[in-house]
Amino acid sequence: MPSSPPWNALLAGGVLLTAALSLGPVIWPRAQAPQVTRVALPAPAATAPSREAPTSPATYPATASVQPLISGRLNLNTATTEQLEALPKVGPALAARIVAGRPYRTLADLDRVKGIGPSALKTLQGLVTF
């Protein structure tokens, strides 16, 4: 006949398991999750973009940690390539061609740059200056 399990050992194991579950967080504390603070950025001063060319350029407020690449009209004769790339419809290659084609005095001068067409001129008209 098989012997019965040692009840004392099972009881002692249950007591130890119960103690470990109740004292576990005290003995082994969990790592605290980092606290996240959310701060809302100010909204841009311009309204939502429309399909038509903007009449006045958007101005974006600066904060202590965020400085906009462009604010107001961008002078094509002094702008950096990063600032030019921030304009709509202008990528890295077109920005390099705009820099190479300097100086500009009118939109007609800008129209001579390869990659600038009537649609891009209409979009950039209110955003750039010379």
> Domain 74-129 carries which CATH code?
1.10.150.320
pLDDT of residue 2 exceeding 80, the answer is no
Is the link from the previous residue into 25 a cis peptide, with omega within 30 of 0? no
pLDDT tens track for 4-58: 566 666 566 666 666 666 666 666 666 666 677 777 777 766 555 555 555 565 6
Contact residues for 70 (Cβ-Cβ < 8 A; gap 6+)? 57, 60, 79, 83, 86, 87, 127
Q: How far apart are CA 7 and CA 15, in angstroms?
A: 12
Q: Band the pLDDT of 88: cuts 50, 70, 90.
A: confident
Look at residue 55 in the predicted model and tell me its pLDDT. Answer: 56
What is the share, in percent, of the chain residues with pLDDT greater than 90? 22
- CB–CB of 129/74 below 8 Å? yes
- CB–CB of 33/12 below 8 Å? no
CA distances 4 to 10, 15, 127, Å, are 12, 20, 90
